[in-house]
Each structure stands twice: as C-alpha cells, then as structure tokens.
C-alpha cells in the first residue's frame, strides 16, 4: 500500500503543522468575534440600542401649527407662523454658570433662573419661547454647547383687536383659551408630535426631522366680515366713550341667512398682547339683560299673529294705567294710541293693554317662538340662555311688565336673531358664525346648515315693517327715533331704555340704565338686523334713541354701502357736519318743486335747548316673589377665580367651580333665591 502524498510537497512537516495551528487559532478567534457580535446584536441588542438612543437622540415636543381662522371673504383673522425659540440640553452644557450669564444678557432674563434650568439632568428644557430674529441670531452665533434654537408655530392675529373677543386667543402651547379658539380648539389644534433631535459628529444637537412631523389644524371659515366688524366696534367704542358708559355691544346679522356679520364688544382686547382687560368678553353671547322697550316689538308682533289686535286697534292711554297694585306710566301724554302708535311712541301703557288682551300663555309662547329663553346654538363658548319664566306662573302685573321688557332677561344675539325673523318675512334662522371647517387635506368636515322655521306669518311680518319705520318719522308727531338720521337709507327700528336691577337694594336703580336700539336696514327690503346696547351711560342722557341710536345709524349706513346696497343721495353737509339744506322746525328737509335739495348757508349753531327725551322712562314694578329669608346671588360673570371666591365668601354663597380663566356662566343667575344657595360657575378655560 502506497503512502499519501502531502498537499504541499516540498514544505517541511513542521511548517505545515505551524500553519495548521495558526489556522485553528484564527478560526477560533473569528468564531469568538461572531459569538460576541451575536450576543451584542441579538441577545443584548435591545439594551444597547436603548443606551445608544439615550446617548445620541432625544424627543423635542413642539406644538402643531394651528389652523387658520378666516373671515367671510377669506381674509385672515388668526394664523400660525414660524417663530424662533431657544432650548437647551442640560447634559451638554459644560459651564452652567458661564452659559447662564451669557444667555441672560441675550434673552433679558435673570441669570439665576437660567442657571437653575441648565443645572438639571434633563435632556430638553425651553429657555425662551418666541424670541425675535435678532435674539435668535445672537444665540446661534454664540455657539454655546447644549444651547439650540428651533422653530415652532406661533399664533398671530393680523387684525389686532378687531374681533378680539370673538376670535379669542390661544396660549403659547397652542391651546385655545377664549372665543372661536376655545370653541373649535380640537379642530384648530392639529396633531401635536414630538420631533427627534440627534447629535452630530461634533456632539451638537440638531432636529433631524424638521417640523414636518406635525399635522396642521383645520381651517375655519367664519361668517364674520372683518370690515363690518371694524365698523361696529368703532361705533360702539365711540358711543361708550362719548356717553361715559360702562360697556357696549353691537350685533349685525344677515337677514336672509342668519349669518352673523359682526359681534362687537367694548371693552375688547388684542389677542397678540396676551392681556385681557377687566370686563372684556363676548358680551352679545355671554351677557343677558332686561332689555326694556325693544321687547315691545315682539309682544306686539305676537298679539298681531294671535289676531287679538290689528295695527289700527285703539287703546286708551291717559296718564297712568293701574295693574294690580302698580301704576304704569308713560313720559308723553296721549289720550288714545293705535297698536302701531304704541310702537312709534313706545307706550308702556299701550303695551300693557295689548298684553292683558293677549294673555300670559300666548305671550309666553310667542316669546319662545322668537327664541327667548333658549340658546341659539351659535358656535361660541359661554352662551347664556337668559331667563324666561313659564307663563302659567306670571301674575297680572308681570304679564304687563313682560310686554315692555321687565321680568325676563335676553342676550343681544337673541334680540337680533328675533328681529331678523321679522325682516325675513317671518322666518327665523338660527344665528351662525362658522360657515365651514376644512381639514388640512381639503375635506370639508363641517358645513353650517342654517336651520330655519317660521315664527310669524308673512302677513304679520309685512305689517310690522311700516310700524317699525314710523319710529323714524320726523315732525311734531314723530317717533322716538325722529332725531336719528341713517345717511342714505330709510330704516325701521325700536328704541329701548331699561332701568337696571340693583341686587344690593333689591330694587331698580334710578340712575343706572341699559340704552338700546334695535333696527332693520333698509326697511323697504331688509338686509341687516342690527342691535346696539350701551350699559350704564352717565354722560348726561341715558335714553336708547339718544345713546345707541347714532351708533345704529353709523353701522347701518356704512355697512350697507360697503355691501353695495343702493341708497339715497346723501344730504350735503359742510366741513363741520351741518346740513347744507333748509329744515323745518322739526328737522324735516325742504326740497324744491323738482324734489332737489335746496342748499343754504348754515346758521351758526345755537346752544342746544334741554328737551325732554322722547323715550319713556317707565316706573318698573319690582317683581319680588322671593321668601323673606332669600339670599342674593351676586353676578359673578367676568370675574377671575380668586375674585369670584372672595365675593362668594362675602355673600355667604357656596360655589362650585368648573375650569379656570373668567366666569362665562353661572347657575342660578344673579338675583334673590331661597337659601341655602349652591352656585355653579363655568369658567372660560375648561379642565381636560
């Protein structure tokens, strides 16, 4: 048997043995490395990946861009734009004290506050949010270890204080606090996500994914018209200032649709500032009042609808009318007035006669049909229901006072929507301020439907228009708005002056009033329903026609011209505003045979004589059914938490708090109720 030849002939056996041994060692080493790699990558892979993630990556929580809020013509009311913010990874800060000192000079902060933030063991902390471009550049140029600048969305309100109380505001983290921002917060907020930050080769942090991870919120299209809103706000601000009033509101509704074109409140605020003055809230929605004589419009319309009177039905007026223990009076004496004349001259006695003929049940049902005593459902937070007791509980004297606005409370929005129904041939549209909501991908996720129902026959609605127009009649027998001119248009409306109830004395105050004007413009083909209310005017006159009437005229005239509604030729005036035409003693313009204005040189204005104001000031009967041990519930609306708690403690009233911010609603409402009392207070910011 032959011997096997070696695979490497000519190589000594010892060399071959060394080669085999070296191969075995290398093979063993490779096997060992493989086993170690398996252990690192498979057996302990999760643990080491977590360690690497902790060492090299972090999550930076950045809010999503909120959706835009646009007006009826697509103009921006609230938008989100990128802003620079400064943050830190304290683990990367080597010189805490020195870094804090340098940042304090750039950010305008206290160095000790910054040092406390930088001394922690966290991997992410905000140092200053929404800094200016100059500050951001200075921080970047400083190249301080562990200090970074990132972009995040910031909320901007281009119109500043225009619509401030309606649009509301969002906080620095993009959470809605008031108004539309609060009501539609879930839709506007978008999808908030954490953005991954990693270290680069030099150990510096950077955002690896940018801001694209966040999903922006939906876009909200409002019915609010920025121009009409500005017109209304300026008119209300001028009225409050001129008449030294506490506050004022105005509502403008498009009659054919119920779309709200303006919701003005004074005082208001600029959401950009972050400061909300005391009493600045969306009063047309959140505040309810005893409105006074403007309610005669709806009590008379209800009586006409019931067929118990016609516009020509006459009632005796005289000096006073006794109902139960109370005497109802008017400012002006009339032996008789028709139903139309009751509105024209704002007769409390006449309204009481009509109500007594109509009856409590029918008047109550009429008020309910017009929407009083119920929420309108407008897409805004804090809407008040108002107070309307069931008609079967009214005493005879309450039936009388209800007909001219005492004993029930209503919001300015409710009045405007009800008035719009009369101008819309008796069809009531639920007022809406949101037209639609469109998602980020263009999908319409909400579309206002504008529910409508009939509250009056077209016949009665048509009968009401000339009655309302007569309130503007000039001359000796003119209506309560005879001194009001709406430049270029003929309008109809109703004045209102209400004494305010004083919960401290349990009586109506004799020197505190609510002055109102509610009207349709123009009256021949109504396009707009407008209500102006001025709270507590102290500038020398307090009647609705004198105080709120001029604001109505301004809003009506300027809004109609802005909308392109044809009007009459304006009365020519000189530089000081005096008419350049002849007038009769009652302010009626004189024209020539061809109907043209006759210009004249105006005389120097004489001092205005003191004339008795045309709006009746009723003797409001106190309606007090409360027991002897009744407790007075204060008006908490508009107060902050601490203020509300202090007042509750002083008034010995137990309160239940829901949310933070300012009180937007309370139950029960202000007034006397049987004790013990437990009041629920709803604040503007809800806890989530």
SS3 state at 504: coil
Find out whether 490 and 523 touch, Cβ atoms under 8 Å.
yes
Q: What six digits make up the tokens of 636?
A: 């908490």
Question: CA dist 428 to 200, 239, 412, Å?
Answer: 65, 30, 16
The H or E element spanning position 139 is helix 133-142
Q: How distant is the alpha carbon of residue 328 from its chain centre?
A: 38
Closest CA to 611 of 512, 537, 543: 543
Q: How far apart are CA 291 and CA 533, in angstroms?
A: 9
CA 333 remoteness from chain centre: 43
**Catalytic residue (choose from 205, 247, 293, 548):** 293
Q: 3-state SS of 270-333?
A: CCCCCCCCCCCCCHHHHCCECCHHHHHHHHHHHHHHHCCCCCCCEEEEEEEEEECCEEEEEEEE
Q: Are 643 and 607 in contact (CB under 8 A)?
A: no
Decide if 339 contacts 317 (C-beta within 8 A): no
Distances (CA, A) of 517 to 248, 493, 672: 12, 7, 29
Residue that the structure tokens 């550049």 belong to: 137
Report the 10 Å Cβ neighbour count for 265.
29
**How many Cα neighbours within 13 Å face the side chain of 144?**
29
Structure tokens belonging to residue 369: 């049909």
Residue 508 contacts residue 499 (beta carbons within 8 Å)? yes
Q: Residue 306 is encoded by which pair of tokens? A: 């019931």
DSSP state of 679: E
Closest by Cα among 466, 354, 366, 367 to 414: 367
Q: How far apart are the first and last CA of the chain?
A: 95
How many Cα atoms sit within 13 Å of 90 on the Cβ side?
17
Check: CB of residue 150 under 8 Å from CB of residue 62: yes
- In whole angstroms, give the CA distance from residue 640 to residue 179: 17
- Closest alpha carbon to 659 in 676, 677, 644, 678: 644
Q: DSSP state, 40?
A: I
Q: Is 557 a catalytic residue?
A: no
Main-chain phi, psi angles of 221, to 5 degrees:
-100, 115
Active site positions, annotated: 293
């Amino acid at each position: 048997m032959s011997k096997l030849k070696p695979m490497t002939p000519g190589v000594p056996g010892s060399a071959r043995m060394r080669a085999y041994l070296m191969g075995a060692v290398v093979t063993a080493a490779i096997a060992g490395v493989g086993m170690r790699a398996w252990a690192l990558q498979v057996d302990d892979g999760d643990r080491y990946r977590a360690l690497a993630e902790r060492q090299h990556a972090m999550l930076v929580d950045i809010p999503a861009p909120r959706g835009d809020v646009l007006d009826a013509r697509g103009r921006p009311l609230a938008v989100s734009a990128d802003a620079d913010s400064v943050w830190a990874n304290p683990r990367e800060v080597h010189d805490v004290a020195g870094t804090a000192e340098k940042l304090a000079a750039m950010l305008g902060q206290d160095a000790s506050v910054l040092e406390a933030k930088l001394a922690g063991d966290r991997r992410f902390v905000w140092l200053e949010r929404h800094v200016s471009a100059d500050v951001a550049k200075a921080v970047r140029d400083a190249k301080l270890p562990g200090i970074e600048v990132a972009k995040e969305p910031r909320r901007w309100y281009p119109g500043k204080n225009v619509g401030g109380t309606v649009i509301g505001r969002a906080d620095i983290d993009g959470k809605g606090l008031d108004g539309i921002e609060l009501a539609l917060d879930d839709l506007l907020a978008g999808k908030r996500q954490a953005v991954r930050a990693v270290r680069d080769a030099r150990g510096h942090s950077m955002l690896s994914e940018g801001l694209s991870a966040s999903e922006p919120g939906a876009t909200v299209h409002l019915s609010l018209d920025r121009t009409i809103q500005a017109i209304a706000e300026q008119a209300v601000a001028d009225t409050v200032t001129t008449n030294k009033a506490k506050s004022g509101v105005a509502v403008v509704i498009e009659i054919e649709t119920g779309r709200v074109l303006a919701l003005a409140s004074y005082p208001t605020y600029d959401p950009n500032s972050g400061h909300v003055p005391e009493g600045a809230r969306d009063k047309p929605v959140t505040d309810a009042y005893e409105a006074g004589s403007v309610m005669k419009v709806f009590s008379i319309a209800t009586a006409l609808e019931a067929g118990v009177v016609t516009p020509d039905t006459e009632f005796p007026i005289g000096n006073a009318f006794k109902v139960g223990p109370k005497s109802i009076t008017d400012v002006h004496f009339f032996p008789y007035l028709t139903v139309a004349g009751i509105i024209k001259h704002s007769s409390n006695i006449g309204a009481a006669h009509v109500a007594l003929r109509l009856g409590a049940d029918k008047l109550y049902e009429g008020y309910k049909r017009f929407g009083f005593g119920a929420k309108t459902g407008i897409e805004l937070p804090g809407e008040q229901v108002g107070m309307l007791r069931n008609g079967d509980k009214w005493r005879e004297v309450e039936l009388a006072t209800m007909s001219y606005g005492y004993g029930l409370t209503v919001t300015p929005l409710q009045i405007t929507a009800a008035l719009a129904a009369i101008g819309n041939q008796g069809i009531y549209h639920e007022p809406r301020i949101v037209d639609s909501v469109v998602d980020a991908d263009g999908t319409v996720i909400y579309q206002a439907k504008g529910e409508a129902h009939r509250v009056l026959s077209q016949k009665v609605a048509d009968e009401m228009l000339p009655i309302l127009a007569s309130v503007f009649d000039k001359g000796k027998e003119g209506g309560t708005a005879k001194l009001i001119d709406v430049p270029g248009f003929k309008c109809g409306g109703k004045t209102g002056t209400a004494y305010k109830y004083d919960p401290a004395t349990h009586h109506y105050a004799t020197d505190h009033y609510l002055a109102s004007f509610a009207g349709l413009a123009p009256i021949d083909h109504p396009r707009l329903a407008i209500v102006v209310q001025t709270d507590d005017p102290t500038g020398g006159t307090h009647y609705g026609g004198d105080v709120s009437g001029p604001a109505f005229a301004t809003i009506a005239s300027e809004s109609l011209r802005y909308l392109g509604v044809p009007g009459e030729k304006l009365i020519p005036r000189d530089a000081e505003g005096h008419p350049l035409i002849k007038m009769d003693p009652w302010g009626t313009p004189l024209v020539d045979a061809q109907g043209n204005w006759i210009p004249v040189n105006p005389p120097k204005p004489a001092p205005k004589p003191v004339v008795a104001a045309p709006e009746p000031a009723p003797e409001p009967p106190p309606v007090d059914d409360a027991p002897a041990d009744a407790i007075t519930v204060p008006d908490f609306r508009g107060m902050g938490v601490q203020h509300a708690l202090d007042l509750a403690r002083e008034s010995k009233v137990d309160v239940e708090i829901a949310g933070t911010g300012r009180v937007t609603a309370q139950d029960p409402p202000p007034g006397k109720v049987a004790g013990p009392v437990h009041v629920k207070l709803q604040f503007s910011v809800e806890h989530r």
